[in-house]
Structure 1
Amino acid sequence: MNSPTGAIDPMKLQTIQACLDTQFRNVTFDQKIRPTFTYHHGDHKLSWLLVIHEEFFADQMSLEELWQFIDAKVIKKILQNPGKRIQVSKYWDVTVEERIHS
């Protein structure tokens, strides 16, 4: 399991980022509050968010399984819900959350 300091396997982060890079641009990762990937799609000026529960990374998945999950489930959900925050739970559930614009 990940340490309380928030250490996440860098190979898993690289795998997710590489997978997102196939469909999106300016993909970045930040872990200030929760593990979050920020990216842009097409000409949209607003950044889109993918938030992943930290315990998801503790799963003993292979990097290939992770790539297939992100590619088949997460990216599909992102493209079906443009501009909305997508979240992945520790149980591999992919949900959509409306972004609140202020």
Structure 2
Amino acid sequence: MMMCGAVSQVSDATPKVQQICDKRRKLGKKFDVFTTKTFTTQVVAGTNFFIKVHVGGDEFMHLRVHQTLPHAGRKLELHRVQTPKTHIDPIGFF
């Protein structure tokens, strides 16, 4: 059981996480590839998703997306982007 505020273990991306990224894809740059690879979560007042995304070639980026609680409509908000990243950079809290 994960404690509130703790970051989960890294998992392979799921269709749900890809869907979250697709909704937050407007980052001011167009990417030919935008594929989620791994992610971790943190339960706070909602859920933070820390997501590793392949954006083409050897390039990756990390996204922090917050999903609000059900009573707030489960809205998705892009909070932060880390770039440049590589496939070996660990994903975690940022």
TM-score (norm 2): 0.39
Q: Between Structure 1 and Structure 2, which shows a larger proportion of strand residues?
A: 2
TM-score (norm 1): 0.37
